[in-house]
Amino acid sequence: MKKQTAVEWYHTKLAEPTTQAKDVNTIFLLAKAMEKEQISQAYTTGVEEDVYSNPLRTGEMYYNDTFS
């Protein structure tokens, strides 16, 4: 099974028949946390595979600088 993006996971959760309106905000916050983790991990992986292999910033720093 392939990994889901945060957006795919969010869409799947909202489409479940058992999802109630009161759960939507919680699902949204979980999807945002997943997205942050995915972006941070992708950045860290990219930096680790860079020529220098010595990241000056972590993935979380990149996310916070870019999206916060």
Tokens 């993006």 belong to 5
Q: What letter represents residue 40's amino acid?
A: S
pLDDT by residue (tens digit) across 4-14? 899 999 999 99
Q: Name the residue among 9, 1, 3, 2 with its Cα closest to residue 41.
A: 3
Mean pLDDT of 44-67: 72
Domain count within the chain: 1
Max avg pLDDT among 8-12, 48-52, 61-65? 8-12
State yes or no: pLDDT of 28 exceeds 70. Answer: yes
Domain membership flag for residue 31 = yes
Q: What is the pTM of this model?
A: 0.69
- Say what angle helices 6-15 and 24-48 make with each other, to 10 degrees: 160
Domain membership flag for residue 52 = yes
Distance separating alpha carbons of residues 46 and 9, to the nearest angstrom? 24
Domain membership flag for residue 39 = yes
- 32 lies in which domain range? 23-67
Distance separating alpha carbons of residues 32 and 19, to the nearest angstrom? 18
